[in-house]
Amino acid sequence: MRPKRIVIIGGGPGGNQCATHAARLGAEVTVVERDIVGGAAHLWDCIPSKAMIATGETLGLMRTARGMGISDVSASLDFTALRQRIESIEHRLEHSVTGLLESQGVALVQGSGRLVGPHEVVVDGPDGETHLDADVIVLATGSRPRLPAWAPVDGRRVLSTRDAYPPEELPEHLVVIGAGVTGVEFVHMFSAFGSQVTFIVSRQQVLPQKDPEVAAALEEDFLERGVRLFKGARAESIEVGEGTVSVRCDDGRQATGSHCLLAVGSVPNSDGLGLEAAGVDTDGGYVVVDHNCRSSVPHIYAAGDLSGKLPLSSVASMQGRKIAEHCMGLHGGPHRHLDYEKAASAIFTVPEIADVGLAEADAFAEGRKIRVTKVPFSANAKALIANDPRGFVKIVSDPATGVVLGGSIVGRNAAELISVIALAVTAGLRVTDIVESLLVHPALAEALADAAE
């Protein structure tokens, strides 16, 4: 029997995870990519933003070096070196993903793919059109920043997130619009570089979707850094003047800076993809999928941001993996459906923020009985040794069974530490399983065991 032919449009985390996993399971896989393998995640989103944050963090460490017993530390930012550093990380990652795909026998086709029928993809590439027939098609074309009509984005003074890696010059005063994860990461990044930052937040809370206690810890840090917060203000227009950018809000307030950055969500890359020709249902441009990531056409799947689920690289990758298993017929065995409520996520600010599973506020709103235990890092030896005792660990569990339902961490290395709680939530472990783990001392992870006690 000939192997199943799978054509994947889009080589970001959703597409490339699906490709390598399906190839390992015996499929004949082709990935169509118009830009770089690794996707927007590597080129525009996760990687460059975290590389810039890491540089800001190093600057911050140098500024606080006195607290570690070090004197005479001076540091300045070199944007050219920073740009080179980001490009070098991107090249290395692109190289490693391409190598992995090739090692699994995945064919790569350069160009823009579209459906011309339920089983046929056409690629418009540098050498003209290529036709690909498929038994299964996976759409993983991602998303791009939403640019409101009232925002005169020019890539110089009025920036989308994609113009900021890094911008041509360090903004003297950056006005950031957008209270979500992306907005707060940019506020954090540029304030760490030394820019004055004004943050326009349409709600009464930074990170409106997060635990209020977690959001409050971040707001406190922003205020300490001198970030000006415009809460409850919705940006309505932007005026670019001689060296200035003025953002007017619906409550009459106006924020004037040297630059402005928009972080107001994303739109799916579904235009021109031929979804109608193939009979694929969409909602607001996102492909409608079931719990197996299958669209209204059973052999066409969607992974990643295009599926309109959680817009995270980690979720895109896991969707890709699950799609590979489903279309290769493994879903009858030990296959587990993706449970988006158990996805861990992090915000790479200082203090770092991470959470997973049931949030205390949501349990409260649902009237659900929970046990919440919380421990501050100020009681943790490693946090004191590292001169960074900010934040806390919070664990939410079932009071009857002790099963871990969720948790949040604010503090150093939160994005790494949350893995323990994520594993507990996914595997249905109890708080005693964490308490009785023989952990390293001194370690930040000891705060997890203390919180689970």
Which of 40, 97, 324, 356 is in the footprint of ligand FAD by CB under 6 A? 40
Nearest distance from C-beta of residue 8 to ligand FAD, angstroms: 9
CB 98 within 8 A of CB 108: yes
Nearest distance from C-beta of residue 397 to ligand FAD, angstroms: 26
Which residue, 217 or 306, has its beta carbon nearer to ligand FAD?
Answer: 306
**Per CB under 6 A, 50 contacts ligand FAD:** yes
Q: Which range of residues in 40-48, 98-106, 244-252, 438-446 is near ligand FAD by CB under 6 A?
A: 40-48
Which of 7, 19, 41, 86 is in the footprint of ligand FAD by CB under 6 A? 41
Nearest distance from C-beta of residue 13 to ligand FAD, angstroms: 5
Which residue, 15 or 391, has its beta carbon nearer to ligand FAD?
Answer: 15
**Per CB under 6 A, 32 contacts ligand FAD:** yes
Task: Give CA–CA dist 431/434, Å, rounded.
Answer: 5
Q: Which range of residues in 46-54, 85-93, 245-253, 422-430 is near ligand FAD by CB under 6 A?
A: 46-54
CB 351 within 8 A of CB 414: yes
Which residue, 48 or 406, has its beta carbon nearer to ligand FAD?
Answer: 48
**Per CB under 6 A, 14 contacts ligand FAD:** yes
Which of 153, 264, 312, 409 is in the footprint of ligand FAD by CB under 6 A? 312
Which residue, 14 or 257, has its beta carbon nearer to ligand FAD?
Answer: 14
**Per CB under 6 A, 35 contacts ligand FAD:** yes
**Per CB under 6 A, 9 contacts ligand FAD:** yes
CB 9 within 8 A of CB 139: yes
Task: Give CA–CA dist 161/183, Å, rounded.
Answer: 9
Which of 4, 6, 12, 175 is in the footprint of ligand FAD by CB under 6 A? 12
**Per CB under 6 A, 13 contacts ligand FAD:** yes
Which residue, 93 or 429, has its beta carbon nearer to ligand FAD?
Answer: 93
Q: What is the pattern of x (binds ligand FAD, CB under 6 A) and - over residues 223-262? A: ----------------------------------------
Helix H or strand E encompassing 448: helix 446-452
What is the DSSP code (8-state) at residue 403? B
Which residue, 309 or 326, has its beta carbon nearer to ligand FAD?
Answer: 309
Task: Give CA–CA dist 86/351, Å, rounded.
Answer: 23
Task: Give CA–CA dist 330/173, Å, rounded.
Answer: 54
Backbone angles phi, psi at 204, to 5 degrees: -85, -5
Backbone angles phi, psi at 355, to 5 degrees: -150, 165
Which amino acid, 337?
A: H
Q: Which range of residues in 5-13, 59-67, 203-211, 336-344 is near ligand FAD by CB under 6 A?
A: 5-13
Helices 13-24 & 313-327 angle (0-180, nearest 10):
30
Residues 179-218 that bind ligand FAD (CB under 6 A): 182
The structure tokens listed for 40 are 């927007």
Q: Closest by alpha carbon to 107, among 39, 38, 30?
A: 30
Which amino acid, 446?
A: E
**Per CB under 6 A, 45 contacts ligand FAD:** yes
Q: What is the pattern of x (binds ligand FAD, CB under 6 A) and - over residues 382-411? A: ------------------------------
What is the DSSP code (8-state) at residue 430? B
Residue found under tokens 């809370």 = 205
Nearest distance from C-beta of residue 129 to ligand FAD, angstroms: 13
Which residue, 17 or 198, has its beta carbon nearer to ligand FAD?
Answer: 17
Which residue, 164 or 448, has its beta carbon nearer to ligand FAD?
Answer: 164
Q: What is the pattern of x (binds ligand FAD, CB under 6 A) and - over residues 134-163? A: ------xxx------------------x--
Residues 291-310 that bind ligand FAD (CB under 6 A): 304-306
Task: Give CA–CA dist 279/390, Å, rounded.
Answer: 52
Residues 78-137 that bind ligand FAD (CB under 6 A): 112-113
Positions touching ligand FAD (CB under 6 A) are 9-15, 32-35, 39-41, 45-46, 49-50, 112-113, 140-142, 161, 182, 269, 273, 304-306, 311-314, 316
